Amino acid sequence: MSNRQYWQNTQQLENDEAFISAHHNEFQEELPLVEFIGKEKLDKTTTSRRDFLKFVGFSLAAATAASCEAPVVKSIPYLIKPEEVTPGVPSYYASSFFDGFEFSSILVKTREGRPIYIKGNKVAKGFQSGVSPRVNASVLSLYDIERIKNPLQNGSESSWSEIDKTVKSKLAEIKAKGGQVRLLSSTINSPSTLGVIAGFEKFLTTNTQEDAPTASFKHIEYDADSASGMIEANRIGFGRPVVPTYHFDKAKTIVSFSADFLGGWLGDPGFAGQYAKNRVPSSGHMSKHYQFETTYTLTGSNADVRGVMKPSEMGKLIVMLYNIIAANVGWDKYDESTFESDNNTRKKVALAAVDLLKNKDHSLVVCGINDPDIQQMINGINAMLGSYGNTIDLYRASYLRKGSDKEFMNLVSEMKSGTIDALFILGSNPVYTASGSGFVDALKSVPFTISFADRADETGSMVNVLACDHHYLESWNDHQPYDGYYAIAQPVIQPLFNTRQAQDSLLRWSGSSSNYYDFVRSHWESSLFPNQSQYTFFDGFWNNAVHDGVVKLPFTREDVQEYRAMDLSGPANRVNSVASGGIELELYIEPALGIGNQANNPWLQELPHSMTKVVWDNYITMNPGDMRDENGEDIYNTRYGQEYPASLAKVTINGTSVELPVIALPGQKKGTVGLALGYGRWNAGKVVAQGTHEAEGYNTIGVNGFPFINWNNGTQGYHVHGVSIEPTGKAYEIGMVQTHFTEMGRKIANETSMKTYVDNDRSVWNPKTEITNAYGEATPVKDLNLWQDHDLPIGHRWGMTIDLNLCIGCGACVTACHSENNVPVVGKDEVRRNRVMNWLRIDRYFASDMSKEVAEQNGMGTIEMYRKMEIPSDYPEAVHQPVMCQHCNHAPCETVCPVAATTHSDEGLNQMTYNRCIGTRYCANNCPYKVRRFNWFNYMGDSKFTEFNPSQSDLGRMVLNPDVTVRARGVMEKCSFCVQRIQAGKLVAKKEGRPVQDGDVVSACADACPTHAIQFGDLNDKNSMVAQISTDDRSYHLLEEVGTQPNVFYMTRVRNVSEERIPEGIGHGGGHDEDHGHDHHNAEEHHEDHHNDQQHEEQKHEH
């Protein structure tokens, strides 16, 4: 072989620097791209032909690179790849979520060690494994830049060694003088954590030296969303102060008084899954649900029959129900009080009593009012109906609510007296949630205070030591949500900051050398392992528990005294004498934000409220009838949009005045207003600081409603009477994603009654859509095509079914879609301009008194009829409908795109090619479903979105799904049917040498749905769940008359009422409740009315 070398010139021979630099350039002469492209008269350009050919040869990619130099990112490969991590392949870890407000057994999806998605753990049968939007959005809180990075001492950063030194020194002083230490926490259902606290107590209250002084210690549990009244009633009635477990799946009749059990009541998202099991009418029967409430809740919108009452009169309604049932079973009755009823409430209660008695042993009455007297009346009703041991289980208690309002108030009194030397605060933010109790002033009287918050929140910013806790996804823990049920929480990522788990801190301060992981293992080995017989060795038992995330074990049934006919005259008299007067305020929990502990989560701030569809705000809800004067003129605005702001009102509660926007909510009890808790935080983070309200000198979103809680009767009361409201004349810009209230006589959310469904075939309540052809003949829409059909029967055809009977409108699918598909957060101002980016929305429709039948009877013109159809009833029924891209087989968007950026795949997908889109928005204009979204801004980089778009921080970007492109400014985007999951499912099947099976591919929305309302799969697989559901008689397409032939099928909503209902849009139908009109009954009539009679396979567990 020759080693001879040749040189081009002497510069190369001598390695001249200029030559070497030029040698590495493909084009040694600079391309005059800007000069060339910027010429207005290209026919007279001075650019040489050679330069032009260079430009063309270098391609459009070169032009892009020349105009925008992208940074070079160097990837560092693993030196030693972790065994469980394969780049590009997700890993799933079973864990648990419990934040003191709600519990879920979950699966955490990680990519290359980063948690990016949370869903329910399907293995956790009996553990209520459904997820709420707050649960699956909690993954974003892990990457919140507002989490503090190091522990704080007196407001300044410190080290853990200094913190330990300070705390140990203070505890030694307190112990030496026989002082008092208190630990305040939210509900703790972790056996191991309670064991650590017990060890901490032992350390403080014992001494190795005889007669040496010791400290006094007490642990107080406090819940911002309290069930203390129920716990006290169960102590009185059964001798066991606990919250029972409920079985909505076993109930044929459900009656709820102010219990929003589908929206977070008692912190149990699993209620939704239970409820849904008896809400499918295919078998010819389904449970019947009565809801009595003040504010229109998520649960109320799903009820078959809904009645509304003022909060002060709800107890009187319960006494009335008690008396009707007692008269039938031979128990004593009590005096009743009169109350206002403008929506047939008395008759509805009487009808509820009939159904309850007809289904004794299979009935369930629940109540969300935190009053021991009312809860005792509820216990009496359930005892008469035989609910205990059937639909209610007091032997298997729930430990999701354990707080005692009485003990908390005793603690506040102790703190005010100056007798408490140290206060530890764990998992609670009482400066924010208990500000009306006097806690803030009392805290200033405690010499030494410690918080374990993850940020300098309202409470953390007032304490001496902030011992920052790990995020739950960084922590080991265990939970006992119910008797006999245990769950593991395991870390899925190393701690991102210099934090330390609270339990490890308590162990260290107790003088223990153990870490919390070892403590948990030791507790399980000594306390739980002996109670099972499946595993011989503890390691096997432990490894299986960590793998599955849950364990079910036998448990010792605690003694529960049998309920007997008690004298409830005292509670009944107190309930009847509850004060009322003037406008009444109800404080409620909004499913999007809960109690506000995730207020800095932009996914939740941008999640539309279930009934009003407002984002980024709280407000007072008011019946539209109360917002107009006697002449029908608006006192407060009832129409909302970019150019139609809400009206501000001055609200005075117990002498305190605040200004709040007023939002019209049909179904709100007249004479009352509602206010959501969880808003008005002032030390949560930058997201909350985007608000326009003010609290404690800081900008915030909304107004804090917790100071208005009534603490007068030993429990937290969530309603206030004597409220005054007056207009200010000011306007307030509101972000609302749905500004139309009704369907206006169209077949959108198709609905019928159980009677009509059972007595008639689908031609009556869900006929196939036909339109008139050119010859005047009624022809099925599918036969009138403008385009050739696709080869649908060949290969896969991905589709979705959505059961409107099962969709409760919770929004878990919306946050799941955000998490899976990197949907940007745009903020209130962009929402106000109708520039929302949600791929999936949940439309909510109210019923109207006006229908085509009514218009015909009154000789009303078409224009006037449709104008009145826009106005909901005062107390309407409601229905929820998820809407995403329908993946039409004759998609109007595909035919108008000038660059073929949106096309149809051979598997039935309407797909987007982002780098081909030039942003004409023709497709959005041509979409009849309005589900296409345009990127008006570069949400990843525009400073307008920096403070709340997680993708703009290095930490926040860790939550992004690497399988989904982050879209650029100027392109359209929409639901893709989670095409990345489809490809992954097909790849797994291919590697295993088998066809794709039903359940291999599940979209994010279907994955998250707690009621399984959404099903996804291959429509060409006749054995698949989605194919079978799509052929059911209840199935129909949205706007089927347009002829788009979607791959999304909706299932007709069937409401369990005994009247005939032909859906509006098909024939003449009603949008009222079961008892049309208003209540003209006298108080004595209700005793006569009650004589009228009426009538998924689990997804595979991935690891």
Residues 6+ apart with CB under 8 A from 985: 996, 1000, 1001
Neighbours of 477 (CB within 10 A): 23
Please check whether residues 844 and 930 belong to one and the same domain: yes
Looking at residue 1071, its pLDDT comes to 44
Burial of 811 (0-12, 13-18, 19+ CB in 10 A): buried
Sign for the CA dihedral angle at 757, 758, 760, 762 comes to positive
Please check whether residues 917 and 984 belong to one and the same domain: yes
Rounded (5°) CA angle 189-193-194: 70
Task: Residue 161: give its domain's CATH number.
Answer: 3.40.50.740
What are the tokens at 706?
């917790």
Please check whether residues 919 and 1048 belong to one and the same domain: yes
Q: Tell me, yes or no, whether 568 lies in a domain.
A: no
Please check whether residues 926 and 786 belong to one and the same domain: yes
Neighbours of 1019 (CB within 10 A): 21
Phi and psi (nearest 5°) for 357? -65, -35
Rounded (5°) CA angle 386-392-396: 130
How many structural domains are present in the chain? 5
Look at the block and give the residue holding tokens 């330990």. 164
The answer to whether residues 124 and 550 touch, using CB atoms and an 8 Å cutoff, is yes
Crossing angle of helices 311-329 and 372-385, rounded to 10° = 30
Q: Over the chain (1103 residues), what is each successive 10-residue block's mean pLDDT?
A: 65 70 55 50 50 46 42 53 78 93 93 93 76 94 94 94 95 93 96 96 87 90 95 92 94 96 90 92 89 96 95 93 94 86 90 95 96 95 94 93 95 94 96 92 95 95 96 95 93 94 96 93 94 92 93 82 81 87 92 92 95 94 92 90 92 91 95 95 92 89 93 87 92 92 90 92 90 86 82 89 96 95 93 94 93 88 90 93 95 94 93 93 95 93 86 90 92 95 94 93 94 95 94 94 94 93 61 42 38 36 40
| Nearest-angstrom CA–CA distance, 357 and 324 | 10
Q: Tell me, yes or no, whether 128 lies in a domain.
A: no
Going along 558-679, which residue ranges are E strands? 583-588, 614-615, 620-622, 646-653, 656-664, 672-676
| Nearest-angstrom CA–CA distance, 1005 and 110 | 18
Q: In sequence order, which ranges of 822-879 are alpha helices (DSSP H)?
A: 828-832, 852-857, 862-869
The answer to whether residues 36 and 49 touch, using CB atoms and an 8 Å cutoff, is no
Residues 6+ apart with CB under 8 A from 585: 620, 651, 653, 672, 673, 674, 675, 708, 719, 720, 721, 723
Looking at residue 1085, its pLDDT comes to 39
Going along 627-697, which residue ranges are E strands? 646-653, 656-664, 672-676, 693-695
The answer to whether residues 851 and 866 touch, using CB atoms and an 8 Å cutoff, is no
Please check whether residues 390 and 512 belong to one and the same domain: no
Crossing angle of helices 516-523 and 191-205, rounded to 10° = 110
Closest CA to 186 of 550, 433, 439: 433
Please check whether residues 716 and 755 belong to one and the same domain: no
Task: Residue 299: give its domain's CATH number.
Answer: 3.40.228.10
Going along 562-691, which residue ranges are E strands? 583-588, 614-615, 620-622, 646-653, 656-664, 672-676
Strand partners, 662: 620, 647
What are the tokens at 648?
């501000």
Please check whether residues 172 and 273 belong to one and the same domain: no
Q: Tell me, yes or no, whether 286 lies in a domain.
A: yes
Full 3-state SS string of 360-371: CCCEEEEECCCC
Sign for the CA dihedral angle at 301, 302, 308, 311 comes to negative
What are the tokens at 627?
């917002």
| Nearest-angstrom CA–CA distance, 776 and 779 | 9
What is the DSSP-derived secondary structure letter of residue 665?
Answer: -
Neighbours of 202 (CB within 10 A): 12
Please check whether residues 851 and 981 belong to one and the same domain: yes
Closest CA to 361 of 335, 389, 340: 389
Amino acid found at 1091? H
Strand partners, 587: 675
Task: Residue 1018: give its domain's CATH number.
Answer: 3.30.70.20
Neighbours of 150 (CB within 10 A): 16
302-338 in b/e form (b: 16+ CB < 10 A) is bbbbbbbbbbbbbbbbbbbbbbbbbeeeebeebebbe
Q: Tell me, yes or no, whether 576 lies in a domain.
A: no
Amino acid found at 791? D
State the DSSP string of 503-540: HHHHHHHTT----HHHHHHHHIIIIIGGG-SS-SSHHH
Rounded (5°) CA angle 1062-1068-1070: 70
Please check whether residues 713 and 766 belong to one and the same domain: no
Q: Cα–Cα distances in Å, from 615 out to 256, 619, 738?
A: 27, 11, 11
Phi and psi (nearest 5°) for 1067? -150, -145
Which of 736, 763, 788 lies at the terminal end of a domain, its last residue? 736
Q: In sequence order, which ranges of 885-972 are alpha helices (DSSP H)?
A: 892-896, 922-926
Amino acid found at 1090? H
Q: Tell me, yes or no, whether 619 lies in a domain.
A: yes
| Nearest-angstrom CA–CA distance, 671 and 116 | 45
Please check whether residues 393 and 409 belong to one and the same domain: no
Q: Rg (Cα) of the chain, in Å, rounded?
A: 32
Q: Tell me, yes or no, whether 133 lies in a domain.
A: no
Which of 397, 426, 458 lies at the terminal end of a domain, its last residue? 397
* β-pairing verdict for 1053-1055 and 751-753: parallel
Looking at residue 587, its pLDDT comes to 96
Looking at residue 25, its pLDDT comes to 57
| Nearest-angstrom CA–CA distance, 413 and 420 | 10
Q: Tell me, yes or no, whether 134 lies in a domain.
A: no
Please check whether residues 626 and 688 belong to one and the same domain: yes
| Nearest-angstrom CA–CA distance, 328 and 622 | 38
Please check whether residues 849 and 974 belong to one and the same domain: yes
What are the tokens at 345?
């409430």
State the DSSP string of 866-906: HHHHTSPPSS--EEEEEE-----TT-HHHHH-TT--EEE-T
Q: For residue 26, give its domain range.
A: 10-67
Look at the block and give the residue holding tokens 């109790």. 437
DSSP H or E run through 515: none
Amino acid found at 819? S
Q: Tell me, yes or no, whether 823 lies in a domain.
A: yes
State the DSSP string of 740-758: ----TT-SSS-EEEHHHHH
